[in-house]
Amino acid sequence: MAESIRDKVAIIGMGLSKWGERWDTGIFDLVSEACNEAFTDAGIDKKQIDACWTGYYQNETATTGVVIAQTLQLQQIPITRVENGCASGAEVIRGAALGLASKQYDLVLAVGFEKLKDVGFGGMATAGAPGMVYPMYAAEFGAAPGRYALAATAYFRKWGLSKEEGKRTLAKISVKSHHNGARNPRAMLRREITVEQAMNAPIIAWPLGLFDCCGVCDGAGAAVMCRTEDVKKFAVKHPHDYITIKGFGVAASPGWGKEDTRFDFTYWDATEAAAKQAFAQAGIKNPRKELSLAEVHDCFSIAELIGVESMGICPYGKGKEDVESGAWEQGGEIPIGISGGLKSFGHPIGASGCREVMEFYLQFQGRAEDKSRQLKDVKFGLAHNQGGFPGQFICGITITGAPDV
C-alpha cells in the first residue's frame, strides 16, 4: 500500500550557482558552484554522499552521471540522470527522496543544471515532438514562445479579454516578477519595469512580448538530502531549520492537447493532476490559504497565469482579478514567484525545479539576502515545474515545509 512521503525526507543543505549568461563557465563550473554551496551549507563532506540524481535536458550530453562524478570526484556511486523536459529539476529532488525513503541510501545529492549559452544565437533550440522527427515540429525551432502564445490567445478569448486587456494582465504579472527579481541578488535580471514597457516591448510571439518571456541562461541548483530520522546525524549546520518534503506530484499528460478538440488551451491538465497528488500527500486542503509561497513555472507570463489557476490557487478565469488586486505580490494573499521567478532568474532547464525549492528553503531559514523580500511565518512552499508545451505537458510539483507543520 502506497504511503505518503510527507516528512520522511529532509533537505539539509542547498546551493545555487550564479545564474546568468555564464560565458566563462562550463558544466563543470556550474555543477561545482551549486554542489559545493550545498555541501558547505549542509556541513557535510561530499565523500559521505551515497547516491546522486541529476537532471539535464539537452541531448548533447550522454552518461551524464559521469559528468557529475568527474566534476565532484564522486567515487563509484550510483548517479542517475533524469529528463522530464523543463520539469527535470523537480524530478531530481523526487528521485533523491524516493531513494532515501526506500532506505537504499542515507545521504543523497540532487543536482539539476543546464548550459544553454553555448549555442551561438539568442533564444533556444527546442526539441521536437516526443519520439518523432515530425516535419511540423522540425519546423518549430524556437517553438516555446509561439506554442505558449497559443494559450494566451485562447485565454483572452475564453475569458472575454480584449487583446489590450489581455496584454495588460500579462504585463502586470511580468512587472511583479521584475519587482521581486530586482530585490533578489541571485537573480539574473534585476531591473524593475513598468506595465507600459511590458506592453510596448517587441513582440516575440504574439501576444507575448519580450517581457512576457523568461531569459535563457546557464545555472545549476543542488540539494543535500537525508531521511528526516537522520537529521541529527547529517544536518550539522541546520539541526532545526532544515525543511521536509511534504508532497510530490508528477503528471505526464496524454499529450495530444493540440490535436484534441476538448482541450481549450486555458488550463494545464498535468498541473491540475500533479497538484492534486501533491496536495493530497501534503494534506493541504486550501492551497491559497495554507501555502506561504508558490514558485510557479513562469517561463512565460501566461504560464504563471494559467499555472496558478490550474493548481486551484485561484479559480479559473479569475487570474486577472488577482493580478489587479495584488494577491500574488509580496504582502498579498499568496506570493507567487517571490524569488523573481523564471522571469528574473532565467530558465536553465534542468536547474529551475531545484531553484524553486531553494526559494522556500531560504525564506524558511530567514536567509532572503535582501531583507525587504523576507517573508514572515513561512510554513509551506510549493514549487511548480513543468516541461513541454500547452497540450503536452509533464509537470512536477514539490511541496516542502517546516519540519513541525
Query: Within 10 Å of residue 188's Cβ, how many Cβ atoms?
Result: 25
The active-site residue out of 52, 86, 217, 354 is 86
2 is an interface residue for other proteins by CB under 8 A = no
Of the residues 150, 199, 231, 394, which one makes contact with other proteins according to CB under 8 A: 150
Cell numbers representing residue 5 in the block: 512521503
| Pick 78 or 128: Cβ nearer other proteins | 128
Give yes or no for residue 332 binding other proteins (CB under 8 A): no
Cα–Cα dist 93/293, whole Å: 19
CA distance 157 to 270: 22
Burial class (CB in 10 A: 0-12, 13-18, 19+), 147: buried
| Interface stretch with other proteins, choices 117-125, 271-279, 336-344, 355-363 (CB under 8 A) | 117-125
The reply on whether position 236 binds other proteins by CB under 8 A is no
Residue 213 grid coordinates:
518571456
Using CB under 8 A, which of 103, 104, 134, 233 touches other proteins?
134
140 contacts other proteins (rule: CB under 8 A): yes
Kindly provide the residue ranges of all beta strands, DSSP E only, lying in 253-391, ordered along the sequence: 293-295, 380-389
> Nearer to other proteins by C-beta: 202 or 331?
202
| DSSP per-residue letters across 94-133 | HHHHHHHHTTS-SEEEEEEEE--TTSSSSS-----STT--
Distances (CA, A) of 299 to 1, 31, 150, 223, 296: 37, 22, 14, 22, 9
Is 179 tagged catalytic? no
- From the CB of residue 312, how many other CB atoms can be counted at a distance below 10 Å? 17
Q: Mark 170-209 with x for binding to other proteins (rule: CB under 8 A) and - for no binding.
A: --------------------------------xxxxxxx-
Residue 347 annotated among the catalytic residues of the structure: yes
Q: Is 59 in the site for other proteins (CB under 8 A)?
A: no
Residue with smaller CB distance to other proteins, 234 or 300: 300
Q: Find the part of the chain contacting other proteins (CB under 8 A) among 8-16, 119-127, 192-200, 274-282.
A: 119-127
Nearer to other proteins, 4 or 153 (CB): 153
Choosing from 347, 354, 384, 395, the catalytic residue is: 347
Which DSSP letter does residue 202 get?
P
**Active-site residue set:** 86, 347
Residues engaged in binding other proteins (CB under 8 A): 119-123, 125, 132-136, 138-143, 145-154, 157, 202-208, 254, 256, 258-262, 264-265
